[in-house]
Structure 1
Amino acid sequence: MKLHRNLVFAVIDALNLIFNEDEYADKVVEKVLKFDKRWGSRDRGFIAETTYEIVRWKRLYTEIAEVKAPYSRPNLFRIWAVWAVLKGIELPDWKQIEPTPTRRIKGRFDELSKIRKFKESIPDWIDEVGEKALGDKKWTKEINALNKQAEVVLRVNTLKTTKANLQKALLEENIVANPIKGYPDALTLTERANVFRTEAFKKGMFEMQDASSQLVGHFLDVKPGQRVVDTCAGAGGKTLHIAALMENKGQLIALDIYGNKLKELKRRAKRDGAHNIETREIDSTKVIKKLYNSADRVLIDAPCTGLGVLKRNPDAKWKLQPEFLDKITKTQQEILQSYSRIVKSGGKLVYATCSILPQENNDQIIAFLASEAGKDFTLVKENKVYASDSGYDGFYMTLLEKK
């Protein structure tokens, strides 16, 4: 593999912004890829994948390179050199790259690979929380699975097309996508590609959505013509899926505390041909109160630690702080207590998170059902999705019914 100086420098620039300026990896990669219009898809792929890989294995690589934050430019090159050596890539003779002790790097790697927190490159506190929550064996398997690169999974927009027609349309643009058994609306790419540039995407034939996330819409058991409320809609990944499952019939109200996310949802809904979505920003408690006892179905896709989606957000490992877990579990229970009141008698509620921790998941449901607000609800079913079992994101979802 021949290394191009400008591509490696772009990776170093990206790492500087992520590690030293605390910027989000996905936003940084987007920004850095715009540096040079002449870069082809292979060049862009190298920058994005190398950056993500070094972010994912940051603790292991910095430990091997024996460097500490904040990372100077020479130190970022050292970290990159560790990545290259472990990949079996021959290091170029550039002045930025010091003579690299290849044997020492490999020796350190073998030594550190015996310790889980280094091997899986995670902060001590996450390792402790994970082991306590899932037990040593399950946690070891799970964190290993969460360190694999996420597959590119698409959700067929059934308002516009069918699975077979989407496969055909993508094939015309040299993209091979295969169905995934057990996921009715999902296709996965055999090779990574920038699907957002395709005609199929511009025509609203699909959205990018992980297979586990696609289970939530089906779990909600919506029917055309119902009144459905998605309480933490964000930019609308699940909202758009629900609209398709409702066949555009009925009313789908998308709520969020961030107006800018709802704007993005509107834009996506227009492209997808989802006409039954109405967005409402939660700018006061009145917005929720107005909806009390009015919905057939309510989705609470609660804010969480995101520990189930480390495959696609590896930098979350370094951004999360232990105190956030206490804070978010309080918020989750408050949301459950308040938003559950939107469900009408005989209606159903789904509580979901992209976390694998019991304290964010079934513990919340047990506490809710034991509370005054939860006394009219019964648990119908729950689904704990682990990356180590499914190969996709870690997720939790539970379906409750109101008497």
Structure 2
Amino acid sequence: MRLHRNLVFATIDSLHLIFNEEKQADKVLKNTLKRDKRWGSRDRSFIAETTYDIVRWKRLYAEIAEVKEPFDRSNLFRMFAVWATLNGIKIPDWKQFEETPTRRIKGKFDELSKIRKYRESIPDWLDTLGQHELGKKWDAEIAALNQLADVVLRVNTLKADKKQVQNALSDLDIETETLSKYPDALKLKERANVFVSDAFKNGWFEVQDASSQRVARFLDPQPGERVIDACAGAGGKSLHLAALMENKGQIIAMDLYENKLKELKRRAKRNGAHNIETRVIDSTKAIKKLIEKADRVLIDAPCSGLGVLKRNPDAKWKLQPEFLENIKRTQQEILSSYARMVRPGGSLVYATCSILPSENEQQVKTFIASEAGSEFNFIKDDKIMPSSSGFDGFYMALLQKKEK
């Protein structure tokens, strides 16, 4: 493989913004990839995949390259050289690579690979936390979370079926395969930009990880019910709920951020989902108006996001121990407040994209032991671990409100 100067420089520029200016990786790449209209899909995927790879392995590569943050441009080129060498790519004869100790790279890699925090490229505190919460399972989970995420689609059954979507994408040379335990899912055999397809523009599918697709089904919404998605965000799960409810009944999608709900409205229009109403949680009144009014409530709670590091590798560098403590308090507050919207006999699902018991089953136990949670019975839960599923890490618990 021959390295092209403009692609390497675009990668270095992206890394500078992500590491030194703490910009979000996906937003940085969105802008970088618009820089040169002559770049083909192969060029763009080189920039995106290489950038994500170096972000994912930042600690390991920085240690091998003997550089420390904040990284200047020569540091970033040294880290790039580590990436290239470990991937069997010949370092070009450019002045930026003059001081690359290529001979030492592989030896240092072998040496550091014996130490988990370097091998899996994670901060010390996160390694300690994972070991504390998951014990021997931590090795397998953090290794799985460092794998590249598959691209999984959720077929929108309001508009199409799996065969139609497969055929439409196949016409564009995008091949997919079905997943046995996921009724609405199609997995791409190779990464491709599916957003330019007519099938996407016509609302036939959404991109949604297989684990995330389990959440709406776990709530088991029925056509004609009133369902509340209390932390809806941009609405991936609201759209799935609409499809499962066959557009019948009412979905109230709530969030603190109006801009996310605007995005949900746009997506709902494309999906042909007509039974979704959005409401901003701008005060406690928004919740009070709905006390005991819902057949089912989904709380897809804010969390550490540790279960989705495959697709957000920059999150492990932004996450801090104090954020984790704060988010656990927030999870408990949300559970206590939003659970009031469930009618007697109705159902509540608490879900996170975390693999930590302290954010998951321990939160549910704490809630049920509290005054607010004493009205609920625990029915069942589901822990999806990246090492066994191959997809994102998720947790979901189903609770039922006692009849009066």
Superposed structure 1 runs of 4+ greater than 6 Å apart? none
**Secondary structure, aligned partner of 1:96:** helix
CA shift for structure 1 position 103: 1.8
Instruction: Identify the residue that residue 273 of structure 1 maps to in structure 2.
Output: 272
**Worse-superposed segment, 66-75 or 299-308:** 66-75
Q: Deviations over 1:343-392 (max 9, x none)?
A: 00110000000000011000010011011111111111100110000000
SS in 1 for 2:36: coil
SS of the aligned residue for 1:225 comes to coil
* 1:317, distance to aligned residue in structure 2 (A): 0.3
Paired residue for 1:233? 232
* 1:59 counterpart residue number: 59
1:296 corresponding residue in structure 2: 295
Aligned AA for 1:388?
S
Q: What is the rounded CA distance, in whole Å, between the counterparts of 2:310 and 2:339 in structure 1?
A: 31
Deviations 1:29-70 (A, max 9, x none): 111000101100000010000000000000000000011111
What residue number does 2:316 align with? 317
d(CA) in 1 for partners of 2:264, 2:37: 29
Q: Distance in 2 between matches of 1:302 and 1:310?
A: 17
| Corresponding letter in the other structure for 2:268 | A
Is residue 32 of structure 2 the alignment partner of residue 27 of structure 1? no
Cα offset, 1:2, TM superposition: 1.1
User: What is the match of residue 330 of structure 1?
Assistant: 329
Where does residue 182 of structure 1 map in the other structure? 181
Q: Counterparts of 1:192-271 in structure 2 under 5 Å?
A: 192-271=191-270
How many aligned positions are there? 402
Aligned counterparts of 1:99 and 1:139: Cα–Cα separation in 2: 37
Secondary structure of residue in 1 paired with 2:373: coil
Structure 1 residue 99: Cα displacement: 3.6
Deviations 1:264-300 (A, max 9, x none): 0000000000000000000000000000000000000
Tell me, in whole angstroms, the C-alpha distance in 1 between the residues paired with 2:396 and 2:98: 50
Give the letter for the 2:245 counterpart: M
1:2 aligned onto 2:11: no
- CA RMSD in angstroms comes to 0.5
Matched residue of 1:374: which SS? helix
The residue aligned with 2:120 is: 120
Q: Which amino acid aligns with 1:266?
A: K
Aligned residue number for residue 367 of structure 2: 368
Correspondence for 1:132? 132
**Aligned-partner Cα distance in 1 for 2:75–2:366:** 48
Residue aligned with 2:190, SS:
coil
Please state how far the C-alpha of 1:96 moved relative to its aligned partner. Answer: 1.4
**SS state at 1:192 partner:** coil
SS in 1 for 2:398: strand
What is the alpha-carbon distance in structure 2 between the residues aligned to residue 172 and residue 88 of structure 1? 34
Q: Which amino acid aligns with 2:57?
A: W
CA–CA distance in 2 between the matches of 1:307 and 1:262?
24
Cα distance between partner residues in 1 of 2:389 and 2:316: 21
Cα distance in 2 for residues equivalent to 1:364 and 1:322:
17
| Partner Cα distance (1:101, 1:316) in 2 | 30
Counterpart for residue 162 of structure 1: 161
Query: What is the distance in 2 between the residues matched to 1:86 and 1:101?
Result: 13
How far apart are residue 240 of structure 1 and its match?
Answer: 0.5
Q: Distance in 2 between matches of 1:357 and 1:56?
A: 20
Aligned-residue identity in percent: 70
Q: Distance in 1 between matches of 2:127 and 2:179?
A: 31
Measured against aligned partners, the alpha-carbon deviations of 1:203-259 in whole angstroms (never above 9, x if no partner) come to 100000000000001000100000000000000011100010010000000000000
Give CA-to-partner distance per residue, 1:116-152, whole Å, 9 cap, x none. Answer: 00000000001011000000x2100000000000000
Distance 1:70 1:131 in 2: 28
Alpha-carbon distance in 1 for matches of 2:131, 2:338: 32
Between the aligned partners of 2:317 and 2:35, the Cα distance in structure 1 is 26
Letter in 2 for 1:231: A
Aligned to 1:211, what secondary structure does the other structure show?
A: coil
Which residue identity lines up with residue 259 of structure 1 in the other structure? Answer: E
Question: How does 1:43-54 map onto structure 2 within 5 Å?
Answer: 43-54=43-54
Stretches of structure 2 lacking an aligned partner (at least 5 in a row): none
Give the 3-state SS of the residue equivalent to 2:228 in structure 1.
strand
The yes-or-no answer on 1:81 pairing with 2:68 is no
Q: How big is the shift at 1:101? A: 1.6
2:371 match: secondary structure: coil
Output the TM-score relative to the length of structure 2. 0.99
1:58 maps to a residue whose letter is K
User: What SS does structure 2 have at the residue aligned with 1:262?
Assistant: helix
Q: Does 1:395 align with 2:384?
A: no
Q: How many Å separate the matches in 1 of 2:364 and 2:29?
A: 38
User: Counterpart amino acid of 2:329?
Assistant: K
TM-score by length of 1: 0.99
Structure 1 CA distance, aligned partners of 2:99 and 2:129?
Answer: 39
